[in-house]
Amino acid sequence: NILAVDDDYPIRMGMEFLFKKWPEFNLYLAEGPDEALRKLDERNYLMMFCDINMPVMSGLELLKIIKSSKPELPVVMLTSETDIQNSITAFRYGAMDYILKPMTVSTVRGALEKATEFSKELEKKREGIIDVAEFRSLVDNFSPEKMGLYDTGSKSAEFTQLVNALQEKLIHPGKAGRI
């Protein structure tokens, strides 16, 4: 799912036409920041395209709000102005990229590929993470006596879980991951 926010009707229709080339993406359009915020609450998005110059609330203000609640959402800012200060502010607020209008097929596709790659990397990082508090508790109790393994049937599941975590993350170098 991709969200595109722009108050300019021809730009929204151009995006809609452009995305017909890529059926693997579902494009959702928003006419302004309020509608974009509602749509962001309704579903998850791979990324968002956002116009900078919009009435009521600028795209930069919207970007700041979005990054405070969804810091990992890639946002590409769109503008027809070449003001360097806007691009600096956009990157400072967490924009992934900045595209000048009129957009080309290759710049939009490049942004999609960059967001897709970012999402894959983020997922890889998440897969390698286990609960640190749980792991610490298992390590602290890593002895047959403390784990109560001498008592019949008790705590053997925790011991097995610890051994599996150690094998998966620490012992097998080919399965490196973060703990």
Predicted pLDDT of residue 179: 46
CB atoms within 10 A of CB 101: 15
Residue in the block written with tokens 């609960």: 131
Give the integer Cα–Cα distance in Å for 52 and 58.
Answer: 6
**In a structure prediction context, what are the per-residue pLDDT tens digits for the chain, which is 179 residues long?**
999 999 999 999 999 999 999 999 999 999 999 999 999 999 999 999 999 999 999 999 999 999 999 999 999 999 998 888 999 999 999 999 999 999 999 999 999 999 999 998 888 777 665 556 666 666 666 665 665 555 555 556 666 666 666 666 655 455 555 44
Question: Two tokens at 178?
Answer: 């973060």
Question: Two tokens at 125?
Answer: 């990082």
Angle at 19 between CA 69 and CA 62, to 5 degrees: 25
Question: Which ranges of the chain does DSSP label H, i.e. alpha helix?
Answer: 9-19, 33-42, 59-69, 84-92, 105-127, 132-140, 156-166
Give the integer Cα–Cα distance in Å for 44 and 14.
Answer: 23
Predicted pLDDT of residue 149: 54
Predicted pLDDT of residue 34: 96
| Model pTM score | 0.71
Give the integer Cα–Cα distance in Å for 35 and 29.
Answer: 9
> Which amino acid would we find at residue 127?
E
Predicted pLDDT of residue 156: 61
User: Which SS3 state, helix, strand or coil, does residue 20 take?
Assistant: coil
